[in-house]
Amino acid sequence: MKRIQKVVGLCIWVALLGSAALAQEPLGQLKSDPWQPAEKVGWRNLTVSIAAHGAATGFDAWTSWQRPERNGFLADGGRFTASSAYKKAGLFAGLTAVEILVVKKWGKKHPWIERACRIANFTSAGMLVSGGVHNLGNR
């Protein structure tokens, strides 16, 4: 139980420190205007959020491996197997592709789309990590 508490605490610290680091710019590159122009899309921040979502998906799949699976879409004979992992990875890849296409098409005109995708990625990552920690606790 102590080990799980340490893992959860470490995940929270990494998330907090990572979000604080993204919010700050290097000292030599401070802007006078804090708002980004509408024609500039924050691809770096979106890429970081996609990477976090992908890592959380992999962590959740790793902790679910060969365990009973209640999700009917992912379950293969009642267990999380390789086909379940392929489905999970395909779902992540498909959602990421749609997200990138939407941001490329409408991101310059509507900068809130990139922000919404970034928030959705970090939220999904948090939910998947919590599911993975839950799986570790039930081993």
pLDDT digits (tens, 9 = 90+) for 89-127: 999 999 999 999 999 999 888 889 999 999 999 999 999
Let me know: does 74 contact 1? Beta carbons within 8 Å. Answer: no
- What is the helix, strand, coil percentage profile of the chain, to 5? 70, 0, 25
Number of Cβ atoms within 10 Å of the Cβ of 111:
19
Q: Which residue has the tokens 């804090």?
A: 34
What's the number of CA atoms in the CB half-sphere (13 Å) around residue 137?
Answer: 13
Domain range annotation of the chain: 41-137
Angle at 90 between CA 98 and CA 135, to 5 degrees: 115
Q: Note the pLDDT of residue 38.
A: 46
As a whole number, the mean pLDDT across the chain is: 82
pLDDT digits (tens, 9 = 90+) for 2-57: 666 666 566 565 555 555 445 554 544 545 555 555 445 678 899 999 999 999 99
**pTM passes above 0.85:** no
Average pLDDT value for residue range 69-85:
91
